[in-house]
Amino acid sequence: MLFEIIAVIVLTIATYTDIKEREVSDWLSWGFVIFALVLRGVMSITQNSYLPILKGLVGFGLFFGVGYLLYRLNQWGGADAKILGGLGALFGIWIVGGFMINFVVNLLLVGAAYGLIYGLILVWKNRAQVKLVKLKYTKLLTFTVLILIIIGMFFLPDVQLKIMFLILILLVYAMPYAMVVLTALQTQVLKKWVSPSVLTEGDWISKDVIVKGKVICARKDNGVSLAQIRKLKRLKVKKVLVMEGIPFLPSFLIAFILTWLGGNFIVFVINILR
């Protein structure tokens, strides 16, 4: 219970700062990692066993590695990787059925739903300036999906399979529309011109900044560095086109609470359908 309470407190603070400031300070993210490893070190001393600290170190290494890979692929920010590593350090790692495995599964599901809902809200708020691309063959797609649903409802043997088939078909149907919204979000809503004075380390550059033939910062960079920000200011660059990220840590908090209360969400749903 103590570990869960600590994690909820950290994730709540991180969620608040991520929403308000669009960044999470290193004192919170790295502080969480250090605190978790120290706590596991104390457990090793009191239990006279190396296993608690070993599990924490392995958990940190594995989950921070996964988070850092996603960071390098520009899928989320550096703070997300550190927080995931901190959770790995706190809860350790079990190969099958462990808390962190269930959490990652839930995070993938919650993150996808959260990102889509957040994106739809942003597009709706900016609907006056957003132009959505019209999909081709929507009538054919709708007709095909309806036929598949009817076939599934009549020919699948039990209720569980019918429900799972219905969910799958609806997800496939929604995917093209989701891609249209995502494209509009990335190209028309999240891209903004800002002054270098408001840039923070890790902000994603959406257009290369070139001064006198030299690239100061580029789209391929994994976020702008402090040195690049100082250089932009020194060169008196007026505006930089950046891609604002969606605050993703709220999905960490939601996924964590779901994991704490119900375990693996997929297994939970399957058990309900039985």
Domain boundaries of the chain, sorted by first residue: 1-93, 128-185, 191-243
Please return the burial class of 248, using the count of CB atoms within 10 Å of its CB with bins 0-12, 13-18 and 19+: buried
Tokens standing for residue 32: 């969480």
What is the maximum span of the chain, computed from C-alpha positions, in angstroms? 69
Q: Enumerate residues 6+ apart whose C-beta is below 8 A from 71.
A: 77, 78, 80, 81, 222
DSSP letters, 253-269, are HHHHHHHHHHS-HHHHH
Please return the burial class of 43, using the count of CB atoms within 10 Å of its CB with bins 0-12, 13-18 and 19+: middle
pTM strictly above 0.85: no
pLDDT in tens, 223-233: 777 888 888 88
- pLDDT of 96 reads 46
Distances (CA, A) of 130 to 56, 175, 243, 245: 46, 19, 16, 18
Q: What is the mean pLDDT of the chain?
A: 83
pLDDT in tens, 135-189: 777 788 888 888 888 888 887 777 777 777 787 788 778 878 777 877 787 777 7
Rounded Cα distance between 167 and 174, Å, is 11
Q: Does the domain made of 191-243 have the CATH classification 3.30.230?
A: no
Please give the single-letter amino acid code of residue 54: L
Rounded Cα distance between 146 and 206, Å, is 40
pLDDT in tens, 37-90: 999 999 999 999 888 899 889 999 999 998 888 887 767 778 888 999 999 999
Rounded Cα distance between 250 and 121, Å, is 15
∠ CA 92-97-100 to the nearest 5 degrees?
Answer: 35
Tokens standing for residue 80: 């997300």
114-148 in b/e form (b: 16+ CB < 10 A) is bbeebbeebbeeeeeebeeeeeeeeeeeeeeeeeb
Query: Are the CB atoms for 86 and 66 separated by under 8 Å?
Result: no
Rounded Cα distance between 220 and 225, Å, is 13
